[in-house]
Structure 1
Amino acid sequence: MIFTKGCETSLGQGLILEFNEVINSFEQIERQSIALAIAEGIYTEINKRISTTWGSVGLLLNPKLKNIDLPTYELLTNKWSDIYRQFHETFFPGNYKCINDSEPPITQNGLLSINWKREMDEFDFLLATPVVPIPNRMLTEKEISDKIISSGYYKYFKNNLAGNITTHQDKIILENLPKSNFETYP
């Protein structure tokens, strides 16, 4: 997913899922980040890391934790930063920035620099996978639908719709796609 500050007024809808287990240690956060990286195709047999050239797992801590338990907040931030220090020669957060953004959505320390939303308050932290935007701007609806049509790869878009994961562009993208591929979708 491309994260951009330029999209804060035209939001889509994603899903935040709880982990299957209660998280009681940083090691459990690290294991969950690896599981997410595997699911996203970042962590592979060749790349046993939570960061690759095209995407990374980022951590966003609930800002309330800083006020409630500063030592834990700092411990988590420092340990996460230690992981990303290992990637200093290959991880470039500036690559994640869209052309009109003043800062990338992920820091050199692997921390997400997106705004914490009120709807997220029941969570202590969020793991998410920003990707490098190519080109380094938001694609238009037409460009997205043309790429889907030319590749013949409708599955990702269909699965997002089925899972109620949406963007502000989906309605127009859907209008540009052949109806025969979306007979069961609104």
Structure 2
Amino acid sequence: MVPTCALLACVTDTDPVLRALAHPVRLRMLSLMWPGPMSAAELSRELDISHALASQHLRRLDAVGLVELAEERTRRGGRERRYRTVQGTPLSDQREGTPMLAETMAHTLRERARRRVEGGEGVTVDAELWVDPRIWRNVRERLVELADELHEAARPPHTPGTTPLGVSMMAFPLQDATHPQE
């Protein structure tokens, strides 16, 4: 299997937003900053990476408009910049970079699966189905609503009374392998 970063190095003409999304650390950073702003120092502690690496990834997300400066404050004699994820970031309908995004999500899913609570309740689905287009539209809308509900309920990491969840989802129409679209 080709590592995600090596896969990205091969693609030079890809949309910069997609390239930013297609890195597991940056994808996780966006999730962590969804419920509220975080600094590079906070992200480095949460992700167990160096402050310099967290800053580098944060700059990349900022450069393509996936995060925004939420606040700047004085901390220990210096300036701390805290960023938040721009609401409505373009994950849901990425088409051109689906293989890169899928590879990144697969990496993230493997990492999260190792952290799954023993005996913890969950839902696992893997399917290739043929359904009426009206059913698909309805299910897609409900999936979007469920994702919105979870994102709306998200709180900063380690908030008392919360449970960390791993949620990875991709659902999309497939080309018929036996009758390719013309």
TM tier relative to shorter chain: under 0.3
- The structure with the largest strand share of the pair is 2
Using the size of structure 2 for normalisation, the TM-score is 0.26
